Amino acid sequence: MDTSLRLDRGSAVPAAPAPRAAPLKVADDKAMLRAAADLTRDLVQPRPRVYWADLIASAAVGYGALAVSVSVASAGWAIAAAVVAMLGLYRGLSFIHEVSHMKHAALPGFRHGWNALIGVPMLTPSFMYEGVHNLHHAKTRYGTIEDPEYLPLALMKPWTLPVFIFISALAPIALLFRFAVLSPISLLSARLRTAVVERYSALAINPQFRRRAPEGEARCYWDRVETAASLWAIALIAMTVTGVLPLRAFLTFLGVASGVAVVNQVRTLVAHLWENDGEPMSVTAQYLDTVNVPPPALLPALWAPVGLRYHALHHLLPGLPYHALGEAHRRISAVLDAQSVYHKASYPGLPGLVARIARSTMVVRR
C-alpha cells in the first residue's frame, strides 16, 4: 500500500557508479523461482476466519482507543491512546493491499466489510487501490515510468526523502477535500470528473501516472463506495462546524489519520531499494529491489503489518494470502542454500534501510 504522494521524477538522474547490494540487470534465477512456487502450492487458500478476526480486532482496537483518546482528561493518556488507535487503524487499513489482490469469491463479503469498517471511515476506499496496485506487479511495468507505485528515490536528491515523509502527514486533509468537495462538484463538470478519476483516485506515488476510468461492474461499485465516502466526509465537516462533533474529536481523528499516513509512508520508503532508473527488469531483479524484514526483528509487525514485512516474497508470490507468507518464507529459506539470491532481499530492520537510501541520495551524480 502506497500513499498519494507525488514527487517530480525529473529530479531522478541515472547514477554514476555507486555500490549496490542488488544488481538491477540480472537474469532470472529459475531455481529460486521454481522453488518458491513448488514449496508454497498448498498455502494459496485464504482463511476467512483469520481475515475477519484480524480485521474486526484491528478496527475495534483502533476505534476503541480513538474514543478513549477523545474522552480522557489526561494529556498523557490521550496521547498514548492515540498511538494505539493509530497502530490499530493502520493495521486495519493495510488490508487494502489484500483486498486489491484477493479473488472476492474466496472471501465473500470481505471487500464490503473492509470498506464499511475501514475504507469509508478513513476516506481510503478500496477503489483507490484496486486496478492500480496490480499494475505495480506487472512484470513489464515494475520500476518503469508506467509503474504507479515506483519512484527512483535512491537516485534522487537528498531533500526528496524528508519531503516524501512530510507531505504524507497532509493526506487526511487532502482526502477530506477530495471526497467532501471534489466528488460532489465533479458531478457538474465532465472535465473536472475526468481529472478527479485520473489524478486523485489512486494511492500512487508516480506523478506521471493517470488511471483509467472504471467500466462495468467496477464502475458501479466505485460509484457506490465513493458516494458513501463523500457523504461521510461532508457529514464529518458538517457535524464539526455545527458543534455536534467536538472540535477535539475532529482534530484527534485527523491527527491519528495523519499518523497512519506517516507510518505507512515510512514503510513505503523502505519497501523497495528504489534503485531502478526506469528500465524493465527481470523478476529476480525486481525481487532484489524489494525488501523482506523477517524475524527475529519484532517491530516490523507494527510498521509493516498484514504480511508487508515480506514484501519481496510477496513480489515473487503475489497470490499468497498474508497469513501464509511467514510459513512460505521459512520453507524457502530452509531449502535454498546460504548463497541463494533469495536471502539477499532480507534486511535486519528499518534504521539500516533508511540509512541506505539516505546515503544513496548523497552520491554525486553526473
Q: Per residue of the chain (366 residues), give pLDDT as tens.
A: 554 444 444 433 333 333 444 445 688 899 999 999 999 999 999 999 999 999 999 999 999 999 999 999 999 999 999 999 999 999 999 999 999 999 999 999 999 999 999 999 999 999 999 999 999 999 899 999 999 999 999 999 999 999 999 999 999 999 999 999 999 999 999 999 999 999 999 999 999 999 999 999 999 999 999 999 999 999 999 999 999 999 999 999 999 999 999 999 999 999 999 999 888 999 999 999 999 999 999 999 999 999 999 999 999 999 999 999 999 999 999 999 999 999 999 999 999 999 999 999 988 555
pLDDT at 47: 97
Whether 143 is in a domain gets the answer no
Is the Cα torsion angle 100, 348, 280, 329 positive or negative in sign? negative
- Grid cell 458516494 in the structure block, residue: 227
Which grid cell sits at 6? 507525488
Residue 30 backbone dihedrals phi, psi, to 5 degrees:
-65, -30
CA angle 357, 317, 122 (to 5 degrees): 65
Which grid cell sits at 173? 486533509
pLDDT at 233: 98
DSSP state at residue 212: P
DSSP state at residue 278: S
- Residues whose CB falls within 8 Å of the CB of residue 265, separated by 6 or more in sequence, listed in order: 3, 5, 164, 165, 168
Whether 254 is in a domain gets the answer yes
Whether 20 is in a domain gets the answer yes
Task: Evaluate whether 302 touches 349 at the Cβ level (below 8 Å).
Answer: no
Whether 15 is in a domain gets the answer yes
How many alpha carbons fall within 13 Å on the CB side of residue 342? 26
Is the Cα torsion angle 307, 310, 314, 320 positive or negative in sign? negative
Collapse the DSSP code of 72 into the 3-class scheme (helix H, G, I; strand E, B; otherwise coil) and give the result: coil
Whole-model pTM?
0.91
Whether 31 is in a domain gets the answer yes
Number of CB atoms found within 10 A of residue 22's CB: 21
Q: List C-alpha distances in Å: 35 to 23, 24, 180, 289, 320.
A: 21, 22, 49, 20, 15
Whether 139 is in a domain gets the answer no
Whether 329 is in a domain gets the answer yes
Whether 3 is in a domain gets the answer no
Angle at which helix 247-271 crosses helix 75-93, to 10 degrees, equals 50
Angle at which helix 216-241 crosses helix 247-271, to 10 degrees, equals 140
Note down the domain range covering 74: 9-134+157-361
pLDDT at 27: 82
Question: Cα separation of 154 and 21, whole Å?
Answer: 13
Structural domain total, the chain: 1
Q: Round to the nearest angstrom and report the end-to-end CA distance of the chain.
A: 32
pLDDT at 26: 81
